[in-house]
Structure 1
Amino acid sequence: MEQVRTQTQTREQTKQNVHVYTEHYDKKRIYVREVSSNRYSLAAERRERLDRIPRVFTPELGHGKKENWAVMRPGDETFRSQSLDVHFVTVQPNGRNDGHGHQNEAMFYVLEGDGGYEMHDGKRYDWNAGDAVAVHNDCVHWHNNPNPEKRAVCLVMKPKPLALFLGLTYQGKIGYKPENEHLYEPRSEWLTARPEGDDEIPKVLPKDATPFELTPFGYTRRIAGEGVPLRIKGVEAYLHQIPEGSRSGKRWKMPDEVAYVREGEGYDLHWDVEAEIDDQYYARIAKKPTKWEWKQGDVIWTPHNTIVQRFNTGAGTAELIAGSNRVFNLLGYSRVHYFENAPEYDAG
């Protein structure tokens, strides 16, 4: 009966939302930022940008009726990266957001809220705090929070800028139709996505579905990526725990990364890496690292091609949620090099 009521509500909302795709923003929204230079080499532009950008910042997460709270987007005045679009989504008690669809997928991690659920293409998917949830490509969906007293809060990571750059631009609220629709045939099945068997991959990864493992970087639990039973293609994500008084491994990889500090405090050391091009590519590693202090509620951005090591200086275990764009692996940048392992890994 719940699904029947939900589908009825969807049809009613569809009638109300027809032509909502014609809405305009007061300020132009930047989906993909231009990459330009007066020189062939972009090294100088990159260096100038990195020298003036804070790599730790505290995003706003308020309590009003506002639904989306930006963390990192291409249109940010302090532009960092467009590998991922990262933001918070809040759903008020007994609330839901508008039904909508976009071609890019989205992975979200439930920070607060039990007993919530998704509606994806007419199917219900239940979630609780600590779960990871997949919104697949070309999915009509909305989030629901039936809790009468407490709001739900989710951290969303999605490779949306890449999808839009590739021309996957169909997005809108329920009721979207093509202009001059009389020029088109009646609607038919959407047959250019969702390979056979894709709908059998889980859409919700419960918090105990994957274990914490001891890796060279430390204690991590993977929540999206190769081998993880979650229907996400474009995002690598994991939880990272650092014991009191300890540190992570010292790691070098090409993708940039966004990490949200769920608990604890500490600091990062970042060794920037520049390129020297001779008979082959050579790395020039900074002699001294930069130090970036963080605390609960902060976001850490690690730039592309950076060596990082993370230290816990607070009482108790520090926990972070980190993610990056998975396309780097497909392009051949899947190798990770460790200069040092986490002490727990060496002890184990």
Structure 2
Amino acid sequence: MAKKGRTFVRGLTSETYGLGEFRTRQLASKRVRDDTVVVDDAKVAHSGDSEKSRTWWRIGPGDEEFLTQTVQVHFVQLPPRSSNHGHGHQNEAAFYILEGRGYEIHDDQRYDWAKDDFVFVHTDSVHRHFNPYDEQATALVVKAKSTWMFMGLWQQGRSGPIDRPEEFGPREDWSRVWTPGVLDRKKVISPADTTWETTPLGRQRVLTSPERTDARLFSVDAYELDIPTGSRSGKYWKMADEVLYILDGGGYALQWEVEAEIAEKYYARVALEPTRHEIKKGDTLYVPQNHICQLFAHDGTPLKVFSAQNRIFKHLGYDTVHYLENAPEYEG
């Protein structure tokens, strides 16, 4: 947790042009986190929790360890028959429902959700989460909030009057500056809205991507991966960093660092030996930028994984995933 207040975005300052020391620190950090890791308990500079609801952070820009701020990860838990406080922020947020059911009120509209749904808080949304049922509801939240912070999109807070109202005119429709057609996009992606496919990565269902233009989410790409007992994923290389949440099962990940050799052009040099990371249900696994990764399922239980990454990498020209090895099921 940040020593003073909440860190919304981390700065980067150096006396030299080369920034290798920052990558060295990042790669030295532990990449697997479980329920013992709470980097922010939402007691400082948060506005969402009520007397009953609970929020806690697993990965955020205020981490003492240098991991990432491209994708933040936290949890929201609503006990039976409870809700949190309503508030608004400019950044999007995406909720993967781990257990229970409930509904959202976004901009005075209701959206119902249940376990395994992927729910979106859209850009510039006033929202509140409700659980009117008898079972507990828990959601894994992923968002690229720091991207908005970098761009100065930080008009957020609880409902209330504006400061200096005498200096401003009457209300105008905020949606005039939104992308055309967003009001027709889905706010909840259910399992019925997706298709499982066998890809070079393995058995996969894509939840959000640039190609999925029916979803009202522009900043986070997400998928689920189901690796059979004793099998493995494809061995993939991409520039974007990634957070994986282990939905079920156990296994391990191998990750190969990719070094940049800067000569007459950029060359990639792949580490001869990977790092190994044991993973189990409830863990998050971090894959740093410019890495090769492969997942392996232990014998006994399939390994089920939820993945999230910041879509901005694809807009910066890094929209290709290169496979050094396909998943066995794809080749078979």
Report the TM-score, using the length of structure 1 for normalisation. 0.88
The Cα shift of 1:61 comes to 8.9
4+ aligned runs moved over 6 Å, structure 1:
none
Match among 196, 204, 220 for residue 212 of structure 1: 196
Please give the alpha-carbon distance, in whole angstroms, between the structure 2 residues aligned to 1:134 and 1:48.
Answer: 33
Please give the alpha-carbon distance, in whole angstroms, between the structure 1 residues aligned to 2:20 and 2:199.
Answer: 33
Task: Name the structure 1 match of 2:41.
Answer: none
Please give the alpha-carbon distance, in whole angstroms, between the structure 1 residues aligned to 2:298 and 2:232.
Answer: 9
Indicate if the aligned counterparts of 2:233 and 2:295 stay in contact, CA closer than 8 A: yes
Please give the alpha-carbon distance, in whole angstroms, between the structure 2 residues aligned to 1:161 and 1:244.
Answer: 37
Indicate if the aligned counterparts of 1:103 and 1:168 stay in contact, CA closer than 8 A: yes
Q: Secondary structure at the match of 2:157?
A: strand
Match among 215, 234, 246 for residue 249 of structure 1: 234
Please give the alpha-carbon distance, in whole angstroms, between the structure 2 residues aligned to 1:281 and 1:227.
Answer: 29
Match among 13, 32, 36 for residue 56 of structure 1: 32
The Cα shift of 1:79 comes to 2.7
The answer to whether the aligner puts 1:121 opposite 2:107 as a matched pair is yes
Please give the alpha-carbon distance, in whole angstroms, between the structure 2 residues aligned to 1:151 and 1:28.
Answer: 30
Match among 78, 92, 117 for residue 105 of structure 1: 92
**Cα deviations across residues 187-222 of structure 1 (Å, max 9, x unaligned)?**
222145322211001111111211111111111111
Q: Secondary structure at the match of 2:75?
A: strand
The answer to whether the aligner puts 1:300 opposite 2:276 as a matched pair is no
Please give the alpha-carbon distance, in whole angstroms, between the structure 2 residues aligned to 1:179 and 1:89.
Answer: 30
Task: Name the structure 2 match of 1:82.
Answer: 69
Please give the alpha-carbon distance, in whole angstroms, between the structure 2 residues aligned to 1:60 and 1:192.
Answer: 44
Q: Secondary structure at the match of 1:111?
A: strand
Q: How does 1:200-239 map to 2 (within 5 A)?
A: 200-228=184-212, 229-239=214-224
Please give the alpha-carbon distance, in whole angstroms, between the structure 2 residues aligned to 1:45 and 1:227.
Answer: 33
The answer to whether the aligner puts 1:39 opposite 2:26 as a matched pair is no
Report the TM-score, using the length of structure 2 for normalisation. 0.92
Match among 122, 128, 137 for residue 152 of structure 1: 137
Task: Name the structure 1 match of 2:117.
Answer: 131
Indicate if the aligned counterparts of 2:26 and 2:65 stay in contact, CA closer than 8 A: no
Alignment gaps of 5+ in structure 1: 1-24
Please give the alpha-carbon distance, in whole angstroms, between the structure 2 residues aligned to 1:285 and 1:56.
Answer: 22
The Cα shift of 1:65 comes to 4.0
Alignment gaps of 5+ in structure 2: 39-50
The Cα shift of 1:314 comes to 3.9
The Cα shift of 1:71 comes to 1.4
Larger Rg: 1
Task: Name the structure 2 match of 1:181.
Answer: 165
Please give the alpha-carbon distance, in whole angstroms, between the structure 1 residues aligned to 2:123 and 2:318.
Answer: 24
Task: Name the structure 2 match of 1:12.
Answer: none
Indicate if the aligned counterparts of 2:53 and 2:79 stay in contact, CA closer than 8 A: no
Q: Give the paired residue count.
A: 318
Task: Name the structure 1 match of 2:298.
Answer: 313
Please give the alpha-carbon distance, in whole angstroms, between the structure 2 residues aligned to 1:220 and 1:191.
Answer: 34
Indicate if the aligned counterparts of 1:118 and 1:142 stay in contact, CA closer than 8 A: yes
Please give the alpha-carbon distance, in whole angstroms, between the structure 2 residues aligned to 1:237 and 1:247.
Answer: 19
The Cα shift of 1:224 comes to 1.3
Q: For structure 1, which segment, 162-171 or 187-196, has the greater mean C-alpha deviation from structure 2 after superposition?
A: 187-196
The alignment yields a C-alpha RMSD, in angstroms, of: 1.7
Q: For structure 1, which segment, 122-131 or 41-50, has the greater mean C-alpha deviation from structure 2 after superposition?
A: 41-50
Please give the alpha-carbon distance, in whole angstroms, between the structure 1 residues aligned to 2:59 and 2:3.
Answer: 20
Please give the alpha-carbon distance, in whole angstroms, between the structure 2 residues aligned to 1:159 and 1:61.
Answer: 20
